[in-house]
A and B are shown apart, each in its own frame.
Chain A
Amino acid sequence: MLRYLIPLAVFIILVIFLAIGLKNDPRYVPSPLIGKPAPDFSLPRLFTPSTTFGPKSLRGKVWILNAWTSDCVGCRQEHPYLLALSKNKLINLIGLDYRDSNTLAIALLKEHGNPYQVVVTDQDGSVGIDYGVYAVPETFIIDKKGIIRFKYIGPLFPDEINKTILPLIKKLNEEVG
């Protein structure tokens, strides 16, 4: 009796579609900024607020911009992996302390270690808006020409770092600046 197999057949087709739907990972939000120049900024450094820092000084280098705050749980989760990542000589990791209290941010980095070469403070969130940050932590990779090549939303775990971040950095470093 074939007609009793119809429900099963319809269900299998549904599962196939759902499986395809799952592959469209909502974390990789197609950022309109990918392939575009990284927005310029000049922001005070966290530890020396009288001096400023901007992406111009990183021209010719591959660098990572990591938007974080001291009160964000996802940032705490990725913190040990960022520390490990910062040991790698190829990595230029810049922190964007997004709408945060400087005191709390400094206290956190002093207590648990500082993975960043430079941390800048984005008190009013305007640079965050330029980069389209909507939920910290977010991570951007910028190439030697200052073009954004990759964006990731959410905490970085070793899986993502080893599978995506490190190979991409290696590849971008081989490109001509």
Chain B
Amino acid sequence: MIVEFGQFALILALILALIQAVLPLIGTLINLPNLILVARPAAQAQFLALVISFACLVYAFVIHDFSVAYVANNSNTNLPLLYRVSAVWGAHEGSLLLWALVLSLWTFAVTIFSRQVPPLMLARVVSIMGWISIGFLLFLIITSNPFARLFPVPAQGHDLNPLLQDFGLAIHPPMLYMGYVGLSVAFAFAIAAMWANRLDSAWARWSRPWTNIAWIFLTLGIALGSWWAYYELGWGGWWFWDPVENASFMPWLVATALIHSLAVTDKRSSFKAWTALLAIFAFSLSLLGTFLVRSGVLTSVHAFASDPERGVFILLFLLLVVGGSLTLFAMRAPLIKSHSQFSLLSRETALLLNNIFLVVLAIGILAGTLFPIFTVALNLGKYSVGFPFFNFIFVLLGTPLALLLGFGQLLRWKKDRARQHITKLIPLAISILLAVASVLMMSYFSFYALLGMSLAWWMLIMTITSFMQRFKNQPFSFSSLRKIPPSYYGTHIAHIGVVVFCVGITLTSNYSSKKDVLLKPGESYQMDGYRYKFNGAKQITGPNYRGYEGDVVITKNNTVIANMKPQKRIYFSQQNPMTEAAIDAGFTRDLFVALGEERGQAGAWTLRLYYKPFIRWIWLGAIIMSLGGLVASFDKRYRQKNKRTQTAAEKDRPDGELA
């Protein structure tokens, strides 16, 4: 009964989405205020319907209703409660339902927190989000119904993919979806602004906090995924340039570009067409990511669910949404007049270059990810592009980006004098010297380590210098610190996050050690100053698995550092063993032990040992970046009704009438 109720709520949500999309659209076309005002309540009702529908599916999982095919496929009576709930988004149908729920949550948030936006503009935004919602709900109901029944009803379910039975991965998809889908708000604002022919700085200001918040979720979601891959897959890596990972990283790069470009459009009324294009591009890459993950065109280490028929639907949807937006863009962009000019040496130029590097990096990763599709389609055989290509373009484009990050913050808008900036060669020299000193402290010299550390020191010095510029004409005091707007703090915090991230990847990539060893109980192995003593492995039993647990004691100079318990699990429902690595985490290094195979009769096991310096800094950097984004979102400017920037031409339009 509850299941049918969930199904009903899902269909109701589709009807409400239709109302939300169509009525305000008609209202804006024939200028009927009553229809325009439907947007807000319709979107809120759609959100409520989807919450109910989602809750019904959660309920079916919690009570083990195996008459629902999706529950039977992804759950099991032995599965603990936390993973029964996270199993809801563990496969295709449920993750799409979560997607639709998140989309309606964002729309709901837009209807609540956009008081400063004129009702007509808001109606357009909500209508566009309604159209996207219709697409996803149709996709759900037609091809991927999570409430479909299974007959005969099995006594036991199939169990959740053991890889997904983990806390990090339980919360990774919702985070990532909040980010992916959140980009639809910036997209909807851009389309609405183009539709109304009002690509102005007010539009940019409305979009900025939404883009920031979506970007925060995306950053944290990707970091969580990377952290999960690190400790759960047992390969010791933190990023694999896997298609699914790339699918989340590409929108992140473009969203980062969008954040910077929106700043220019907001403050200088420049880059308008480019900003609109980036907003389309960022959301399109989110949709493309869904297509790649869900259609099965690319095989991936974690393609958990794929189906070519569904791929056709998503591809058509992609064609409509992206093709439609780009057509609108081609029609409107030529009409935009940019009033402001800027010289070659200006903050505008620095931000333009930042955008170009970020977008070219995203395109490079896209080309690398889709390479196998191109070669198969052109009958050249199945080739794929690996690590070396991605690492190469990342370093190639990341280096100028880091240099720009340091320098660009100190440039003035519009026009700056070159002579003033020759002195910046001094901090550059200091950075290189500090980097040489940092690298000399490590065990051996590496060119890439020197490059990475130089960039990190450079960004750090320049970010602090830029922050201190505020105090050129006023004393450094608590009251002057309080006067600084949040967006200024946010920018600098986020840039410090980039510094921390840069140190993390530089040192981890260049100074990690890895060793596969075969140890009998009582034997030990020495690596990077740490002694790993193996005390044998014993059998263990968990709620839905059995397996082995090793015992490894790590000592340094005869002091015990950690007692590690790496596990090898065999889940009852699957044949493949799962590795649960043991990790001793530290601020400057991680020690990592994974249990391999048992060899021979003497209780000897193969063990994989890792020493990973500064790996935590990678995720710490991501956390600091998101914190910066969060602080910046609190800037009061974004919530003010600002008429000052409206031009005479804009005032002629009827948009203000309902305000």
Interface residues of A (CB under 8 A from B): 1, 4-5, 7-8, 11-12, 14-15, 17-22, 24-27, 71-73, 76-77, 99, 111-112
Contacts and interface: CB of A to CB of B under 8 A. Distances in A.
A111 B152 contact: yes
Contacts of B561: none
Given A22-B312, A25-B308, A17 B150 contact: no
A7 B277 contact: yes
Contacts of A111: 152
25 contacts: A1-B334, A4-B329, A4-B334, A7-B277, A7-B280, A7-B281, A7-B329, A7-B330, A8-B327, A11-B322, A11-B326, A12-B323, A14-B370, A15-B318, A18-B297, A22-B311, A22-B312, A24-B297, A26-B296, A26-B299, A26-B306, A71-B573, A73-B72, A73-B150, A73-B157
B333 A17 contact: no
Contacts of B386: none
A76 B315 contact: no
A5 B273 CA distance: 13
Given A4-B334, A5-B330, A15 B319 contact: yes
What is the interface of chain A mostly: helix, strand, loop, or mixed? helix
A132 B152 CA distance: 29
Contacts of B291: 18
B155 to A, nearest CB: 9
B154 interface: yes
Contact of A22 (B156, B308, B333, B575): B308
Contacts of A20: 373, 376-377
A65 B312 CA distance: 31
Nearest to A111: B152
A112 B152 contact: yes
B315 A15 contact: yes
A73 B374 CA distance: 35
Given A15-B318, A25-B308, A77 B297 contact: no
Given A20-B373, A73-B69, A76-B152, A1 B333 contact: yes
Contacts of B297: 18, 21-22, 24
B399 interface: no
B158 A71 contact: yes
A17 B374 contact: yes
- Which of B291, B295, B297, B333 has the largest count of A CB atoms less than 10 A from its CB? B297
Contacts of A112: 152
A29 to B, nearest CB: 10
Contact of B333 (A4, A15, A19, A24): A4
Contacts of A19: 315
B73 interface: yes
Contacts of A77: 69, 150
Contact of A17 (B152, B306, B308, B373): B373
Contacts of A21: 297-298, 373, 376-377
A105 to B, nearest CB: 14
Given A11-B323, A21-B297, A73-B150, 5 more contacts: A8-B329, A11-B322, A18-B373, A22-B297, A99-B575
Contacts, number: 83
B129 to A, nearest CB: 21
Interface in B301-315: 306, 308, 311-312, 315
Contacts of B330: 1, 4-5, 7-8
A114 to B, nearest CB: 14
A20 B156 CA distance: 39
Interface string B374-392: 1011000000000000000
Contacts of B158: 71-73
Contacts of A22: 295, 297, 308, 311-312, 315
What is the interface of chain B mostly: helix, strand, loop, or mixed? helix
A26 B308 contact: yes
B349 to A, nearest CB: 20
B323 A76 contact: no
A-B residue pairs, 10 tightest by C-beta: A1-B334, A21-B373, A20-B377, A8-B326, A21-B297, A4-B333, A4-B330, A5-B330, A22-B311, A73-B158
B506 to A, nearest CB: 34
A162 B284 CA distance: 38
Interface string B246-280: 00000000000000000000000000010001001
B641 to A, nearest CB: 32
Given A15-B319, A73-B150, A73-B158, A24 B69 contact: no
B497 to A, nearest CB: 31
Nearest to A14: B370
A114 B447 CA distance: 68
B537 to A, nearest CB: 25
Nearest to B336: A4
B385 to A, nearest CB: 15
A76 to B, nearest CB: 6
Contact of B156 (A5, A11, A26, A71): A71
A76 B322 contact: no
Contacts of B277: 7
Contacts of A14: 370
A27 B291 CA distance: 17
A76 B150 contact: yes
B154 A73 contact: yes
- Which of A11, A19, A20 has the largest count of B CB atoms less than 10 A from its CB? A11
Contacts of A15: 315, 318-319, 323
A20 to B, nearest CB: 4
A7 B326 contact: yes
A12 B284 CA distance: 13
Interface in B326-352: 326-327, 329-330, 333-334
B87 to A, nearest CB: 14
A21 B284 CA distance: 18
Nearest to A8: B326
Nearest to B334: A1
Given A1-B334, A11-B326, A24 B152 contact: no
Interface in B366-419: 370, 373-374, 376-377
A4 to B, nearest CB: 4
Contacts of A12: 323
Nearest to A72: B158
Contacts of B319: 15
A19 B280 CA distance: 21
Nearest to A71: B156
Contact of B377 (A17, A72, A99): A17
Contacts of B72: 73
A57 to B, nearest CB: 30
Contacts of A26: 296, 299, 306, 308
